[in-house]
Structure 1
Amino acid sequence: MDDTDPLLLRLRSAQQDVELATQHLEDAVGAARTAGATWQQIGSVLGVSKQAASQKYQNQATATPQALDHIQRELNARAEELFAAVSRSDIEAAHDLMTYATARLLSKRKILKTWQAVTDAVGEHLKIQRTVIEQSGSQNVLTYRLKHQHGEPVGQITFNSRTKITGWVIYLDDSAELPW
């Protein structure tokens, strides 16, 4: 039998199908984890224990390009929601995006006072100009540059695995050293 035999070509095609399906499965696991699914839930869908699911997919769950793209979109959306809420002084909506502990630390008074200082210095918030997402341990850090009428404040927002805000800093210019 030579390499061009139809049975070997069929075997090669089947192997490629398996590799593609495996990639799709890993991408789906990564997207599910990013969206907050537990290993118990994933294991249940796959018909294995949570430990088996975690052991098999833990390294791939956040490493795939599709999962990273999903994380980027999700965190950018959360940042947009945060700045929209703060711009309209809707601190309750901003607090809904945060963990309970973070919302307590970043009180309504603190947020409004800080945001007022920012808008006094650089004018009204117009948009988020640029973001970069990095993983730091079990958290994701979104570094941003804002566009205001008269300046471009910078800062960072940290998110837990459920995309809740766990920290937020803002600086009037990019000469400040960012904490995360």
Structure 2
Amino acid sequence: MADSSTSLDALSVQLAQQASDLAEALGSLLGTPVHLDLVRRSRGVDEMAGQVLKLCVQQARDAGHTWQEIGDLLGVTRQAAFQRFGKPIDPRTGEPMDKTVHMADAAERALAVVKDVLEGRMDRARRSFNAEVLEAFTDEVRADGLATVTGLVGAFEGFGEGEPFVRRIGDHTVVDIPLNYEAGDMKARVAFDTEEKVAGIFVLAPEAP
């Protein structure tokens, strides 16, 4: 706890300084704003704030607060809070699980697969499938799935405004993509295996963990 508190104190000081520098830059610009410099400074503040938030969540957990309480504060489910900040132990090895996302292009690849599936370009979509999905995700399965979604929320109208949410869950890289339908919102979920092949593709309710 002492190490965590010390790190949090140090990061909080750095965050305050970065925020102060950003505010000064915003207030002292002359002529044409140096937009890229503001982007750079803002990104630094955002990254530092993320580190501070991570340590604050860690201290809250150490103090006995539940993932439900933390999720409620962050406006997400307890599972989403755990997936972002938790430190799961791999039951196979007893070691902390690697949560690092190694697929740099996971969001772009997931978006391309979802577009191909929704627009019927299955020959192209299947190039990304692993053997299990290639066998299971037939044209009939696709049609039945899309019909079920249409029955729930109507016709597909486009992709949502939010950015794809990428994270590592176990051995998989998982991407959630917001979707807009005529009578409600949904999200597409694409899971990639360790070979970076599609191991699962779903259309889910937006609140699904």
Give the TM-score of the pair, scaled to structure 1.
Answer: 0.51
Counting only pairs closer than 5 Å after superposition, residues 146-161 of structure 1 correspond to structure 2 as 146-161=179-194
Please point out which of 128, 133, 144 is paired with 1:97.
Answer: 128
Instruction: Report how far residue 175 of structure 1 moved.
Output: 4.3
Partner residue of 2:103? Answer: 71
| Structure 1 pair 125–105 and aligned structure 2 pair: CA distance change class (3 A) | farther
Give the letter aligned to residue 79 of structure 1: A
1:126/1:149 contact within 8 Å kept: no
Match of 1:71, SS? coil
SS in 2 for 1:130: coil
SS in 2 for 1:111: helix
CA distance in 2, matches of 1:137, 1:175: 21
Percent sequence identity is 14
Q: CA deviation at 1:142?
A: 1.3
Q: CA deviation at 1:110?
A: 0.3
SS of residue in 1 equivalent to 2:124:
helix
State the distance in 1 between where 2:183 and 2:140 align: 24
Counterpart selection for 2:147 from 116, 129, 134: 116
Task: Please say if 1:137 is aligned against 2:170.
Answer: yes
1:7 — aligned with what? none
**Quick check: 1:165 aligned with 2:205?**
no
Larger Rg: 1
Aligned-residue offset at 1:125:
4.0
Residue type matched to 1:150 in 2?
Answer: A
Cα root mean square deviation, aligned? 2.6
1:94 CA displacement: 1.8
Given the superposition, is the C-alpha separation of residues 125 and 165 from structure 1 closer, same or farther in structure 2, using an over 3 Å criterion? Answer: farther
